[in-house]
Amino acid sequence: MSPVEPTGHALARMIDISAVQAQHGRADVEALARHALAGDFVAAHVLPSWVPVLRPLLDGSHTNAGSPVGFPSGGSATPVKVTEARWLLDAGVQEMDVVMNVGLVRSGELAAATRDVAAVLAAVDGRVPVKVILEVGLLDEAQLRDAARVAVDAGAASLKTGTGWQGVPTTPAHVRVIREIAGGDREIKASGGIRSLAQLHALLDAGATRFGINTAYAVQLVAEATP
């Protein structure tokens, strides 16, 4: 049976919006906060240096201030990722998305990739939710299965399909593979190229539980889904 299609506010509570491109500055962060508050989206994400700006703008709301670790490549050394995660906690972040080391996965060095993710999760120690980004656009199906296993073996409670930087839309096939490996008790965030309710519903049917969507499209889709 397909999940019930969420409408209006219920859909907004499944959507993260973001301003995480290199060119995004203070005005973009402030605009992001306005959209997040107006739409009551579940989270708004900015690059790490902007968390001290975003967090107070969201105080008192139901929208979490989020930020990525090792973004966008995932190739930072593990101690650098750990330091970044700890800095974000000190800055007041309420959610993190950590990019796994995709190069290690593609090289078949899965134990090393697992240790990398596990180190960040250990540093956070459950203080805030952490989603592990797999970057599906750079992985074939076998590699995607490996990446999902890396996240699960590292202890991740939430897996995310991509950064949105690769220009490859997340598909229901991607989500089905991740759900098969992740089991039924982990969150899957579909992110990248979601532009219509039809796409979103297909991803939901495949097993996604949360969505990362371009802010303008997110506002549009919630409006379309409002009776």
Task: Give the residue numbers annotated as catalytic, written as ranges.
Answer: 97, 160, 189
How does DSSP assign 44-96, residue by residue?
EEE-GGGHHHHHHHHTTSSPEEEEEESTTTS-S-HHHHHHHHHHHHHHT-SEE
Question: CA 195 to CA 169: how far, in whole Å?
Answer: 10
Q: What are the structure tokens assigned to 20, written together?
A: 């995480």
Terminal-to-terminal C-alpha distance of the chain: 23
- Ranges of H-type helices in the chain: 8-12, 26-39, 51-58, 78-91, 102-106, 110-124, 141-154, 172-182, 197-206, 215-224
CA nearest to 18, candidates 56, 52, 63: 63
Residue 135 Cα to chain centre, angstroms: 10
